[in-house]
A and B are shown apart, each in its own frame.
Chain A
Amino acid sequence: MGGPEIERLVALLAKLPGFGPRSARRAALKLLQQPELRMLPLAVALAEAARATKACGECGNLDSRDPCSICADLHRDRHLVCVVEQVGDLWALERAHVHRGLYHVLGGTLSALAGQRPEDLSLHPLLARLEAGGVTEVILALGATVDGATTAHWLTDRLKSFDVAITRVGQGVPMGGALDVLDDGTLAAALRTRRAV
């Protein structure tokens, strides 16, 4: 192809989520065809983001400030802490404007098979925040996977000594979904997490 520089660019792009070798080649070609328009501004943006971004010491979010703009926002409801697996989950909830409290990013889930153990998760900043007082509810917004559900169970056990309500995001009937097309597991989850109306 076009020399070692391009090969390296393609190899690095191919490691990004959603990219494979073919899409990486297409992206590299698009960048190289008009470098002033796309590639150089992208290179500057990448370098600036890499230099400025850090993990928030309080919640684990990625931001150019520490504490991050969410933790520093005095208008947020500081009684509520929503626990998520990854920063991407935090961003998804922010995009939806559904949570006006604070967050805590665990950094993964427990997985015996993947060797992800309790000590690999970011738990201490959350415990410190609860010990400091003021939090009344911890919302567990973890995935409905085996590892997500197991981690929620484990976390509930770890947090039960604090005087806070522990809740989980609902699972079951999707918006616009009919009951008769759901599998038995989803139906059972929906029934288990029913609430008074």
Chain B
Amino acid sequence: MSEPGLKLLRLTLGRFRNYASLRWQPEGRLLVISGPNGSGKTNLLEAISYLAPGRGMRGARVADVAQGGTGAWAVNGRLATQEGPTEIGTGTTDENVDRRVFRLDGAAPRNQAELAQRVASVWLTPQMDRLFLEGASGRRRFLDRLVYALEPGNARTVAAHDTAMAERRRLLAEPRWEASWLAGLEDEMARHAVAVTAARADLIAQLDAALAGGIAGDFPAARLDLLCPIAARLTEAPALAVEDWLRAEFEAARPRDAATGSAAMGAHRADLAMADLATGLPAAQASTGQQKALLIGVVLGHAALLAQARGGAPLLLLDEPAVHLDLKRRTALFAALAALPAQVFLTGTDAEVFAPLAGQATFWRTGGEGLYADPEYK
């Protein structure tokens, strides 16, 4: 197996969640972290997720991840990347515990996209077992994380779309509307909505083709679909024509959007559908274990696709991946992970579940504010 293009070499934590201080050198490509409930396994994955821009794996408030929920915190990672070794630091300061700051190789990065070019991570958490039973926003966030790993600039486009939408909502709440100001915001929404949708559709097309080609190994292949009227239009008309259509839609929807306090159309209305490619069974109708297997297949396929397309897969953070998987699927998961050119962090309460990875993975245990090599798998 070739070395992954992106690899975490060292992780340092200060006052992060249950870790007062930690310095860890994650040796190897596959890392199994086990320990009892509440011992800090997920906190480690969350800390790694903070090395990339965004709200982290739990989507927590910035101030809340500090030890005891007060004061400043810090996460620092040294990574091997395609462009060479990189050091990324993030956290808060005593002066402002609500604002997260970044350091890239010792200096403030120009923008967050610069960070996203260096490091990307994709995660699966037990909460995502309900991804296809709950609202569309979680599925959209999941999809966008996959897109950002391929197109880091897309995060800025999504943010610009959402800013224009929030400004439009604020203007529509006023008793008199300034039409030219609204039209300017709708122009921005249309431009960014089309760009966001095109990037999402492109990723899904690539991923569907790769999954159908068996990129996820023995894992069940999913078929993904983007449910979005903008995406449907993009299959029939050039992007600039779709922007014109959207602008007209936004203008016509002003009275309705003013009444509802939202926008009936936009990139924020997209949804991700997923079904088992072999059986056609939609994820929402599948069992929890089947859904989890499909999601894992997507994440593995995405990592392999990125390794092919960009030469480097994102860091994979799999929190309790073995839960809900039967023996056959666990075996398939471990076989797929062994073949994947990505650094993978796995957690579980019981290290024994991951015993088939002995010899390929390094094993670690959490407990007592610390992390140490698992003596049973040395």
Contacts and interface: CB of A to CB of B under 8 A. Distances in A.
Contact of A149 (B170, B188, B198, B243): B188
Contacts of A150: 164, 167, 181, 184-185, 187-188
Interface string A96-116: 000000000000001111000
A15 B368 CA distance: 42
A147 B171 CA distance: 13
A153 B194 contact: no
Interface residues of A, number: 27
Interface stretch (A29-37, A53-61, A123-131, A180-188): A180-188
Contacts of B194: 184, 188
Given A183-B151, A183-B154, A188-B239, A146 B160 contact: yes
Interface of A: 20-21, 110-113, 118, 145-147, 149-154, 157-158, 182-186, 188-189, 191-192
A110 B194 CA distance: 23
B173 to A, nearest CB: 9
Interface residues of B, number: 32
B376 interface: no
A191 B160 CA distance: 19
B157 A188 contact: no
A113 B166 contact: yes
B163 A113 contact: yes
A110 B240 contact: no
B62 interface: no
B198 to A, nearest CB: 5
A118 B157 contact: no
B279 interface: no
A118 to B, nearest CB: 7
A185 B180 contact: no
Interface string B182-214: 011101100110110011000000000000000
Given A21-B95, A113-B166, A185-B191, A192 B198 contact: no
A184 B154 contact: yes
B153 A111 contact: no
Contacts of A110: 181, 184
Contacts of B167: 111-113, 146-147, 150
Interface string B278-316: 000000000000000000000000000000000000000
B178 interface: yes
Given A113-B163, A188-B239, A153 B180 contact: yes
A192 B187 CA distance: 13
B95 A157 contact: no
B245 to A, nearest CB: 14
Contacts of A188: 191, 194-195, 239-240, 243
B195 A183 contact: yes
A184 B166 contact: no
A192 B192 CA distance: 13
A194 to B, nearest CB: 11
B184 A112 contact: no
A185 B184 contact: no
Given A146-B164, A184-B198, A185-B157, A191 B240 contact: yes
Contacts of A182: 153
A149 B157 contact: no
A186 B151 CA distance: 12
Q: Top 4 A-B pairs ranked by shortest CB distance? A: A153-B184, A183-B153, A157-B180, A185-B195
26 contacts: A111-B167, A112-B166, A112-B167, A112-B171, A146-B163, A146-B188, A147-B167, A149-B184, A149-B187, A150-B167, A150-B185, A150-B187, A157-B180, A157-B183, A158-B180, A183-B151, A183-B153, A183-B195, A184-B194, A184-B199, A184-B239, A185-B153, A185-B157, A185-B192, A186-B153, A188-B191
Contacts of A21: 95
Contacts of A183: 151, 153-154, 156-157, 195, 199
Nearest to A110: B181
A157 B179 CA distance: 10
Interface in B91-105: 93, 95
Given A150-B184, A150-B188, A186-B153, A118 B178 contact: yes
Nearest to A156: B180
Given A113-B163, A185-B160, 8 more contacts: A20-B95, A110-B181, A154-B180, A184-B154, A185-B157, A188-B191, A188-B195, A192-B240
Contacts of B151: 183-184
